[in-house]
A and B are shown apart, each in its own frame.
Chain A
Amino acid sequence: MTAIIRAEALTRRYGDFFAVAGLDFEVAEGEFFGLLGPNGAGKTSTIKMIACVQDVTDGLLEVGGLDVRTNDRAVKSLIGMVPQDDNLDEDLTVRRNLEVYARYFGVPRHLAKERIEEGLALMQLDEKADEPISALSGGMKRRLVIARALVNEPRLLILDEPTTGLDPQARHLVWRKLRLLRERGTTILLTTHYMDEAEQLCDRLIIMDNGKALSEGRPRDLIAEHAGREVLELHLPPEETARVVERLAPMLGESGRIEQVEDVVYAYGVDEAHYRTVEEMASDPYRVIFRRANLEDVFLTLTGRGLVE
């Protein structure tokens, strides 16, 4: 498999602040790749460099085998970009938005027409084609921005937090469309601070914090490696928490760990026996949760902080 993105020691500096501080990763053709991290982790800066919207401060960055610094036009024509904000043309209709965008890529008219109708159908917007943007819901706008990013038939589709601000239903529809695109062979790079989004969609991902990669791998492997199978969550009053932790800590094996974020305590490397013990001690068993580990736990064990603050 050939790499469509290759980054080595990639760095982006603003004055004295390093938004991206030496990032190494590769994305293979056909992969669904994720950058997961909290706000300010450097995800958006990374994709802006890939899309040639921001300059690379240092390091190597190749897209489709081309250095982004010297091939901005060629690289941009390979990419479809879905930014965080729906920067659609409010003064134009749905279809006109796509036509105007196709012109920026120099897509010939008849070809653009075909792709636009196809994109509208794919994103279930064909009925809205002649409506103004103001007639669209938040989820429809998001899907339109995705359709817009497809007018140049990109080899690489980049989505910057595509479901932030959407209600659960709209979110699931966007996810379904993205999975459909992956099945059709589009390489997708996604940034998100939602661990469930990353876990649901990504073949492989990087967990980022402070401009650096903390870990890289397939979601389930990362969970198994850093958080184990199950997690105990304690939502108990402070004194009670202290008592429970005092009891629980010696019971845990070598892989066990206890983390506290704000008022919640997380215990890793636990099994059902631990859960029983804690549940019996707790004044309200409802406030003790025993569940499968997820990517949020991976981030937590790596940084001691939660993903969404």
Chain B
Amino acid sequence: MSAARATSTGRGQRVRSGGVVPWLGIAIPGPRFIAVWQRDRDVFLRLWKAEVLAPTIEPIVTLLGLGLGLGAYVELGGDRDYVEFLAPGMLMVFPMFGAMFEALFGSYFRMDQHGTYAAIQATPVRPEEIVLGDIAWAATRMALNTGLVLVMLLMLTPWLGFVKSPLVILTLPVSLLCGLLIAGVSIAFTSIARSISQLSYFFSIYVLPMFWLSGAFFPTDDLPRWADIASNLFPLYHAVVLSRALTEGDLSWGLLGNLGFLLAFLLPSLWLGIWAMRRRIIRG
């Protein structure tokens, strides 16, 4: 009993277990998050045939439908066709859904339905690493989808002149970066959802506005001021600006601002997702 009293900390000064850094509210995740990423990858590789069709076809159908259909009625400055204006956005906007769905529905199932998180919790992988692994996988999905769309754009380029610069390959890391931000915010929302159907709230209040204000379908500069400002607060907008510049090979110093936004919000977004989902996991 004396030993217990000696190590017992009493009220008010509980030992923070699991390596938690007090001012962060989480432990700094280590490399074990990779094992969680690998698990998600393994599941994907088993099901990939069903997983790659939609993210390849949807953006191309939208691109051709809007670009050639609606595009006939759209006049842009210069001699550019609307379909060419649309193409760079397709590298980000539809792939974004990949990251979002993975971090919303995928993570919800792993957290609540299938006990995947609970199973990993009994191993040396910390909750922070479980969440980071899931976020990293969601971002990987986005980059992967960007790659699929890019292949399609390259195949269509001889006819429709979409890709004008080899820099377009850099849309892959941009997509990954943007995916990390989107997944961090999405998984934070997942952590407070009480049912699958509640995940659709997030879709309505965050994803759809971000989708339309991304600058992929129309320039946001001419929108009312509040809408223009709002668009700038979404990571997707900056990813689309970068994608447009890289696809067209039209670089400018201003792009550093867009890249800076994504980099500046990287750690806060990761922290938000990890902190929020960790709370849900350890309450389990």
Q: Give A contacts to B, CB under 8 Å.
A: 8-9, 51-60, 67-70, 72-73, 76-77, 79, 81, 83, 85, 87-92, 96, 100-101, 103-106, 152
Q: Does B209 contact A (CB under 8 A)?
A: no
New contact pairs (20) apart from A100-B39, A104-B124, CB-CB < 8 Å: A8-B3, A9-B4, A9-B8, A53-B284, A54-B282, A55-B17, A58-B9, A60-B7, A68-B17, A69-B17, A72-B126, A76-B122, A77-B124, A79-B122, A89-B114, A89-B119, A90-B114, A92-B43, A92-B46, A105-B124
How many whole Å from B10's CB to the nearest CB in chain A? 7
Closest B residue to A152 using CB positions: B123
Q: Which residues of A contact B43 (CB under 8 A)?
A: 89, 91-92
Residues B3 and A106 in contact, CB atoms below 8 Å apart: no
Closest A-chain residue to B130, C-beta based?
A104
Whole-angstrom CA separation of A42 from B59 in the bound complex: 53
Please indicate which of the listed interface residues A57, A68, A72, A79 has the most CB atoms of chain B within 10 Å of its own CB.
A72
Query: Is B125 part of the contact surface with A, judged by Cβ < 8 Å?
Result: yes
Nearest Cβ on chain B to A125's Cβ, whole angstroms? 17
Residues of the A chain whose Cβ atoms lie less than 8 Å from the Cβ of B126: 72-73
Measured between beta carbons, the chain B residues less than 8 angstroms from A87 are 114-116, 118-119
Return B64 CB to nearest CB of chain A, in Å.
34
Q: Contacts A52-B17, A90-B114; is A106 near B124 (CB within 8 Å)?
A: yes
What residues on B are CB-neighbors of A77 within 8 Å? 124
Tell me the residues in window 25-41 of chain B with beta carbons closer than 8 Å to chain A beta carbons.
Answer: 32, 35-36, 38-39
The residues of A that contact B19 with a CB separation of less than 8 Å are 72-73
Q: Is the interface of A mostly helix, strand, loop or mixed?
A: loop
Q: Roughly how many angstroms separate A51 CA and B284 CA in the complex, as a whole number? A: 14
Contacts of A92 in B (CB 8 A): 42-43, 46
Question: Is B124 a contact partner of A83 (Cβ separation < 8 A)?
Answer: no
CB proximity of A100 to chain B, nearest CB, Å: 5
From B14, B38, B116, give the contact of A89 (CB < 8 A). Answer: B116
Closest to A74 in B: B124
CA–CA, A8 and B15, complex, Å:
17
Q: Is the CB of A104 within 8 A of B123?
A: yes
Whole-angstrom distance between the alpha carbons of A285 and B256 in the complex?
A: 92
Q: Which residues of A sit under 8 angstroms from B17, Cβ to Cβ? A: 52, 55-56, 68-70, 72
**A90 CB to closest chain B CB, in angstroms?**
6
Interface centre among B3, B4, B7, B19 (most CB of A within 10 A): B4
Bound CA span A60–B7, Å: 7
Q: CB < 8 Å: which of A55, A91, A104, A106 contacts B120?
A: A104
Which residues of B (105-148) have their CB < 8 Å from a CB of A? 114-116, 118-126
State in angstroms the CA–CA spacing of A76 and B17 once bound together: 13
Task: Select from chain A the residue with minimum beta-carbon distance to B7.
Answer: A60
Contact: B46 with A91, CB < 8 Å? yes
Q: A60-B4, A106-B32 are in contact. Are A52 and B123 (CB under 8 A)?
A: no
11 interchain pairs (CB within 8 A)?
A55-B14, A57-B14, A59-B8, A69-B15, A79-B122, A89-B43, A89-B114, A92-B42, A103-B35, A104-B36, A106-B124
B1: contacting residue among A8, A52, A58, A100, CB under 8 A: A8
Whether, in the assembled complex, B61 has its beta carbon less than 8 Å from a beta carbon of chain A, the answer is no
Residues of B within 8 A of A9 (CB): 1, 4-5, 8
- List residues of chain A with CB within 8 A of the CB of B125: 104
A100 touches B42 (CB 8 A): yes
In the A-B complex, the 8 residue pairs with the closest CB atoms: A87-B115, A8-B4, A104-B123, A81-B122, A103-B35, A87-B119, A60-B4, A69-B17
Contacts of A54 in B (CB 8 A): 282
Pair A55/B124 contact, Cβ less than 8 Å? no
Q: Which of A53, A58, A69, A103 touches B122 (beta carbons < 8 Å)?
A: A53
Residues on A with beta carbons closer than 8 Å to the beta carbon of B3: 8, 60
User: Is B18 at the interface (CB under 8 A from chain A)?
Assistant: yes
| Complex-state Cα separation, A35 to B127, whole angstroms | 27
CB of A69 to closest CB in B, whole Å: 4
Interface status of B47 (Cβ within 8 A of chain A)? yes
Determine the chain B residues whose CB is within 8 A of the CB of A76 once the complex forms.
Answer: 122-124
Residues of B within 8 A of A70 (CB): 15, 17
